[in-house]
Structure 1
Amino acid sequence: MIRAQRAWTGIALVAAISFLAGMTDAIGLRLSGDFVSFMTGNTTRAAIFFVDGNWGHGLVLLGAIALFVMGNALGIVIASIVRRRIFGVLAAVSLLLSFASILDQPQLGVLRFYLVVLAMGVVNAAVEQIEGLPIGLTYVTGALSRLGRGIGRFIMGDRRLDWSIQIVPWSGMVTGALCGALIGGAFARESLFLAAVFAMGIAISSLFIRKTLHHRYNQRPASTSRR
């Protein structure tokens, strides 16, 4: 029963955090013209900018990719040193988005873009897996690939349905992106702050999750798992 409750709690968290990621991605794309979590797209665009001679923007995108990686690393550090991992990670995301929201001067556009990218890297450490199944929060290509492979295995006779969980992050991302597009269009200056408030709302909500349901959402270091 605890395992089932833990799984359903994890699914709810993934849906909420993926919604946050989709909303922030849409807002960030509206504000900067570049992706804040889709690093595959930024990699391809950076290559095109370099070939076209636009080295400045290409370097900006390479910087974003590096910051996204650093954000993922920072998220793991935060998740490892705070007692309530999900709260700590999402509170950090909220602070980064809040800081980015006040940088609305045109000359600070790149810095704001980088802060949002960093936040989207950090958020991936909030939930890494549900009962051993890998989950991506800010990107859905992997989720859709796992979903498709699961469907293929089902067609070939494997009746396990654990792959169906991969529809959750995609659903959260697309609904969040729709919401973010609407918010970004209607409240451009306040949109990042609204995303920050939503992130803090999820963080505070995570504090009410019972301790028995609050673990096994993060991968443990190999040295810890062998103890």
Structure 2
Amino acid sequence: MITHRRRERAIAIALTGLAGYVDALGFMTLGGYFIAFMSGNTTRLGVGAVRSLSTAFVPAVVIALFVLGVMIGSLVNHRTGAWRRSAVMALVTGLLALAAGFAGAGLIWGAVVCMALAMGAENTVFERNGEVSLGVTYMTGTLVKLGQRLMGVLLGGDRWAWVWYFLLWVGLLSGTVLGSFAYLRFGLQSLWFAVGLGTVLTGLLRWWAPAGH
């Protein structure tokens, strides 16, 4: 996180908010399964495989779709050159718009498929040399780094290095809270708010600078 420029960090925090928002919509739609948090789905898959194979089906499908989304995002990264970050973000936004369209037509599983693909692809916005340099849909690693940076403060290190990791976590939490409120009011049509944010982020990534510059 601290190796990225300040505006990249700001985009990353917004992306975690978007991920939390969409994950909350998916969680409430699927009754306890995740759209963006694959560690949780892996636990659900393992428990379901022991207790009842039928309960393992949903997390298995979502995990597969998420991985496919990562693959598609990586392909876009490789094929679109210097402006690859905005291209991946446009892909994410398009998938979320398609999900909202499916939801409006009553095709809930169509919406779920597009949401899971979008969250997988979102993780490739910050990809360097074929590797994700900053994950935006999972917080375990971020919280580990937060703890390390806080200990660094106690040991006399940089007093502010922990702040960005904390803000990433707050971004995800805030998005989850907003997504939960939105779902209770608008259902999956709340996805259109995510599409709006995705459009703004696509424009910012396109305007600020090519990837890697």
Identify the TM-score tier after normalising by the shorter chain: 0.7 to 0.9
In structure 2, give the amino acid aligned to 1:72: V
Matched, 1:22 2:26: no
Q: 1:161 & 1:73 partners in 2: Cα distance?
A: 35
Instruction: Select which of 211, 215, 219 maps to 2:212.
Output: 215
1:102 counterpart SS class: helix
Secondary structure of residue in 1 paired with 2:90: helix
Distance 1:142 1:32, change over 3 A: same
Corresponding residue to 2:71 among 70, 73, 95: 73
Query: In terms of Rg, which structure is larger?
Result: 1
Match of residue 88 from structure 1: 87
- The Cα offsets for residues 88-122 of structure 1, whole Å up to 9 and x where unpaired, read as 11111111111112223898433422221111010
Looking at structure 1, the residues matched to 73 and 198 of structure 2 have their Cα atoms a distance apart, in angstroms, of 14
One-letter amino acid of the structure 2 residue matched with residue 104 of structure 1:
A
Which residue of the partner structure matches residue 224 of structure 1? none
Q: Deviations over 1:31-55 (max 9, x none)?
A: 22221011111111122222222x2
Is the aligned partner of 1:186 residue 2:185?
Answer: yes
Cα distance between partner residues in 2 of 1:56 and 1:110: 17
Q: Normalising by structure 2, what TM-score?
A: 0.85
Task: Find the counterpart in structure 1 of residue 9 from structure 2.
Answer: 11
TM-score (norm 1): 0.80
Aligned pairs, number: 206
What do you get for the CA RMSD once the two structures are aligned?
Answer: 2.6
Q: What are the ranges of 5 or more consecutive residues in structure 1 without an aligned counterpart?
A: 217-227
1:58 aligns with 2:56: yes
CA offsets 1:153-177 (integer angstroms, 9 cap, x no match): 4334444754542223212111111
Measure the CA separation in 2 of the matches of 1:45 and 1:59: 10
Q: Shift in Å at residue 126 of structure 1? A: 1.0
Query: Are the aligned partners of 1:14 and 1:168 in contact in 2 as well (CA < 8 Å)?
Result: no
State how 1:1-227 maps to structure 2 within 5 Å: 7-33=5-31, 34-53=33-52, 55-83=53-81, 84-104=83-103, 108-128=107-127, 134-159=133-158, 161-211=160-210, 214-215=211-212
Aligned 8 A contact 2:126 2:133 in 1? no
**Paired position in structure 2 for 1:223:** none
Q: Secondary structure at 1:104's aligned position in 2?
A: helix
Change (3 A) 1:163 1:72: farther
Give me the whole-angstrom Cα distance separating, in 2, the residues matched to 1:68 and 1:95: 16
Distance 2:55 2:160 in 1: 43
Aligned equivalents of 2:47, 2:106: Cα separation in 1: 24
**Residue 182 and residue 122 in structure 1: after superposition, are their counterparts in 2 closer, same or farther (change >3 A)?**
same
Deviation at 1:193, TM superposition (A): 2.5
CA 1:106–1:208 in structure 2 vs 1: closer, same or farther (change >3 Å)?
A: closer
Inter-CA distance 106–201: structure 2 relative to 1 (3 Å threshold): closer
Offset at 1:215? Answer: 1.8
The question of whether the paired residues in 1 share the 8 Å contact of 2:21 and 2:177 is answered with yes
Residue 89 of structure 2 contacts residue 202 of structure 2 at CA under 8 Å; is this kept in 1? yes
Q: Is the 8 A contact 1:16 1:172 kept in 2?
A: yes
